[in-house]
Amino acid sequence: EGKEIAENILKETIKQGTLRRDFVPVFCGASLRNMGIQPLLDGVVNYLPSPSEIPPIIGHHSKTGKEVKIPCRKEAPPLALIFKIQNDREAGSMSYLRVYSGSLKNGSTIYNISKKKRERITRLLRMHANRYNRENTVEAGDIAVAIGLKDAQTGDTVGTDKFPVLLENIKFPEPVISVAIEPKTLSERKKLNAVLSLLAKEDPTFFVKENAETGQLIVSGMGELHLDVLVTRMVEEYKVEAKVGKPHVSYRESISKEAVHKEKFHRVVGGKENTAVIILRVKPLERGSGNRFISILNKDELPDELVRSVKRGVENAFNAGIVFGYPAIDIEVTLESAEYSQTASTPFAFEAAGSLGFDAACRKADPVLLEPIMLVDVMCPKEFVGDVIGNLNSRNGVVLNMENKPGMDHIHAEVPLAQMFGYSTALRSSTQGRGTFSMEFSHFAVKEGGFSS
């Protein structure tokens, strides 16, 4: 009508449209030149929903598995999700968390629902970049840092045992690259172990293990750059000098058919007999399903304590692998039968039988070696598409599809990670430096040539 719209009405209209998802406000800026950053932050405050304006989130009861709706109310039982762990030299372990309901108080004891452990919050902080304010209480909708949670990990749900609801866990991709690492001097071995443990706690996609045969430390991550960054942090932040080996692919093992094995275990330890007899069935699962352990026995056939011992032995064997010691994945293990004696059967015997029985059953089930397959996206000028596709094919890659864009083509392909070493240099050479690529983990697939290669 030719009248100027009041600013508050305009802001409220944009906010309501955003909440209904009718449109999306777009802001332009450049962080390098600090242009448009403040309007963007103001837009987050003015147009995006506050915690009280979003629908209740869905959690699952830790005992029954039933869905539970969790509204954002400070009067409700406390419930928070830890989304980041950071180590500080002065404060120690800092757990970044989002409070979804209720409130957390400074000095209070909370229950880690994921770990089934109680921990005490020694301090609550509200962070502002590298500065912080101490808080006595944080409430539903707040993001804060809790100091003092020693056993907490990224993805854990914390709250109270009277309201044991698990929030959706954060799924982390499998590591695909490994390198051997050792201290430059033997005196720094303990310090290196401590630093690697801190880095692994901060980053759930970074894994550290010791080779049981050689005693060598092996670190695994999402790629060469990922491991380079962590090694640089280790040197610059923690002052630990280390020698790093060449990167190699993190393979996995699995099976290709069903098999059944009867394991008999008997050993005398300290004059006491330890016996166990079990029958295990192993079955391959679809890729990405993970491992499963199932017992079809009732308490009269085998006490729960001994079933748990078998499960523990099988889970240890998952990590130990089948043929070459790579972790075993996508296998279902069923405990079908067991024999035990009231006097000679022990948890130790059934755990050992579980581990040995799993290994023997899998060796009967035609084990296979799995390699990581990467989803590779390449952008290059049209005139180089033929060379780029030819190079991907030579690396056993499979082109999934192509997108034509003005002046550039976008190629989507799947390529075994083992074939991607040195690809950056090859792409620069074949496109005169005008091609770029990115890659991420897609899935594990059976390696051509298997264990013989």
Cα gap 306→302, rounded to integer Å = 7
pLDDT above 70 (res 388)? yes
User: Residue written as tokens 């394991």?
Assistant: 263
**Contact assessment for residue 214 and residue 208, using Cβ atoms and an 8 Å cutoff:** no
CA pair distance 374, 250, nearest whole angstrom: 13
Q: How confident is the model at residue 263 (pLDDT cuts 50, 70, 90)?
A: very high
421 falls within a domain:
yes
Give yes or no: residues 61 and 38 share one domain. no
Q: Are residues 69 and 148 in the same domain?
A: yes
The answer, yes or no, to whether residue 313 has pLDDT greater than 90, is yes
For residues 65-89, give the mean pLDDT.
91
Domain boundary among 166, 198, 227: 166
Residue 99 has pLDDT above 90, yes or no: yes
Range of the domain at 284: 254-365
Choose the final residue of a domain: 340, 365, 390. Answer: 365
Domain boundary among 365, 380, 399: 365
Q: What whole-number distance in Å separates Cα of residue 278 and Cα of residue 291?
A: 19
Q: In whole angstroms, what is the distance from residue 204 CA to residue 358 CA?
A: 28
Query: Of 22-26, 325-329, 449-453, where does mean pLDDT reach its minimum?
Result: 449-453
Total domain count for the chain? 5
Q: How many CB atoms lie within 10 A of CB 405?
A: 10
| Residues 216 and 160 grouped into a single domain | no
- Together in a domain, 138 and 207: no
* Residues 235 and 279 occupy one common structural domain: no
Q: What is the pLDDT of residue 453?
A: 55
Rounded distance between C-alpha atoms, residue 189 and residue 208, angstroms: 14
**Alpha carbons within 13 A on the beta-carbon side of 441:** 20
Whether residues 307 and 224 fall in one domain: no
For the sheet with 143-147, list strands across it. 117-120, 109-112, 157-159, 79-88, 92-101, 143-147, 123-128, 131-135
Are residues 347 and 394 located together in one domain of the fold?
Answer: no
Per-residue confidence at 79, pLDDT binned at 50, 70, 90? very high
- Residue 250 CB neighbour total at 10 angstroms: 20
pLDDT in tens, 129-167: 778 899 999 999 999 999 999 889 999 999 999 999 999
* Banded pLDDT at 184 (limits 50, 70, 90): confident
DSSP codes, 346-374: -HHHHHHHHHHHHHHHHHHS-EEEEEEEE
* pLDDT at residue 451, as a whole number: 63
pLDDT tens digits, 109-122: 999 999 999 999 99
% pLDDT > 90, the chain: 64
CA distances from 59 to 12, 154, 414 (A): 31, 17, 35
CATH number at residue 387: 3.30.70.240
What residues form DSSP beta bridges with 69?
58
With a cut of 80, say whether residue 245 has pLDDT above it: yes
Residue 302 sits in the same domain as residue 245: no
pLDDT at residue 15, as a whole number: 93
3-state secondary structure of 45: helix
Lowest mean pLDDT across 174-183, 355-364, 382-391: 174-183
In this structure, are 213 and 143 located in the same domain?
no
CATH code, 210: 3.30.70.870
Domain contains 172: no
User: In which band, very low, low, confident or very high, does the pLDDT at 324 lie, cut at 50, 70 and 90?
Assistant: confident
Report the candidate in 57, 91, 97 with the shortest Cα–Cα distance to residue 73: 57
The predicted structure's pLDDT at residue 174: 79
Q: How would residue 1 be classed by pLDDT, with cut points 50, 70 and 90? A: low
Q: Mark whether 384 and 356 lie in a shared domain.
A: no
